Chain A
Amino acid sequence: MTAVVVGETRETATARALRFSASGLRPALAGQHIDIRLTAEDGYTAQRSYSLSSAAGADPIEVTVERFEDGEVSPYLVDGVAVGDAVEVRGPIGGWLVWRPSDDRRPVQLIAGGSGVAPLMSMLRTREAARSTVPFRLLYGVTDPDRVYYRDELDRIAADGVQVDLRYSRRVPEGSPLHAGRLTRDDLAALVVPPAEDPSVFVCGPTGFVEAVSDALLALGHPEERIRTERFGPTS
């Protein structure tokens, strides 16, 4: 399926949101991904999977791409492709790390590591578009304040009553009382909807982040069947 770039937003120095016309694609669920395939002029192709960051059923659809320095596809999507260009798209795909407004009334805890916030943003946008009143909370771990995606929108969502907590692993904002460091079990105990409220927990981020967070959630008493994860990137 051909998809034309119809809009873009520079999220950080290394990340860009790209919006594609979705005509011809099935309406997406919040949390699904698409495959993007690029073809060089000599016919060489490369494809990667990207989570959608747009709301369920949105048109245009949006992906937010982080540039990996030794990447093959992401540098082109972050710095190369322009509005009006076309790429090949397949999807949307996936049905596990998915939230539907009609699912149930269970509170939702989102836990993002870095660019893993993208599919969780899709859930936040879906909640808003559906005017859902299901309680949501977002814990968003990033290396430093310059790496935060969707900053203005998150501020607005927070003002609308979603608890949004940012934590920084390497550098905190100037004047912040927070300390830089990886999320600990104590952080999760303090910043995650407690097991007593029986939340659905969605965790998306780099492999090491998701491993550490999901192990800590289990230790805090969150049942395994309430924890849905998506990991990316290699282990060493």
Chain B
Amino acid sequence: MAIFSPGFRGRRRETNPALPPGQYEEHGFPVLTAGPTQRVRTDDWKFTLTTETGDAKSWSWSELMDLGPETIDTNIHCVTSWSKFGTTWRGVSVDKLLDGVETKAGYVMAGSYGGYTTNLPMADLAGGQAWIAFEFDGRPLAAEHGGPARLLVPHLYFWKSAKWVNSLTLMERDKAGFWESLGYNMHGDPWLEERYS
């Protein structure tokens, strides 16, 4: 049942098929972070992937670069209802981190400098859908947007794209990350409006 708001017309009335339900187009780049911005130097940066059996692999910044970055043109969708079209990123596919890793894990916990975590199904992370991104629109990713590197999973709400990401922990069973344990959805598909739990 819809309740109409008399006299409300709305301004951005274009019906863009790229806009998920309940979203509007934003031309700036809002910042949503639960605490202070992390300032991490690439010299100190280290990324660790841990399997469900405890096997760990790590990469330094230069080792990450050696994996072969690619360009990603995509739209992004924040749960606070803005979407941003036509963003360009450079990043390393998560597939390259998973290459040769023995795992049967169905879920992954991404972790960040500063302690942020977010959980994702492996099915949303593998197969050319997720990157460790370090450039935005041709420039190094700014710290307030998650630089030096953030997870980029553009087909899910953007809180899944963990800023300052420094780990992936593979899990047999799903477990709630930071926002997920505070009432946000375990999956977060914007097309299904999976905003809250």
Contact = CB atoms under 8 A, between A and B. Distances in A.
5 contacts: A39-B5, A44-B13, A71-B11, A93-B183, A231-B31
Interface string A210-236: 010011011000001101111111111
Interface residues of B, number: 41
B10 interface: yes
B13 to A, nearest CB: 6
B32 interface: yes
A168 B38 CA distance: 28
Contacts, number: 118
| Centre residue among B3, B11, B13 by max chain A CB count within 10 A | B3
B17 to A, nearest CB: 15
Interface of B: 2-13, 22, 24, 26-37, 80-81, 114-115, 142, 144-145, 178-179, 181-184, 195-196
Nearest to A233: B30
Given A37-B22, A40-B5, A48 B81 contact: yes
A213 to B, nearest CB: 9
Contact of B22 (A45, A71, A86, A214): A45
Interface in A130-184: none
B10 A46 contact: yes
A231 B33 contact: yes
Interface string A29-58: 000000101111101111111000000000
Contacts of B13: 44
Closest 7 CB pairs of A and B: A234-B28, A95-B182, A214-B36, A72-B11, A38-B5, A207-B31, A86-B3
Among A71, A96, A230, residue most surrounded by chain B Cβ atoms (within 10 Å): A96
A144 B32 CA distance: 26
Contacts of B37: 211, 214-215
A81 B28 contact: no
Contacts of B35: 214, 224-225, 227-229
A224 B31 CA distance: 18
B8 A227 contact: no
A215 B37 CA distance: 8
Given A38-B8, A46-B10, A88-B3, A96 B36 contact: no
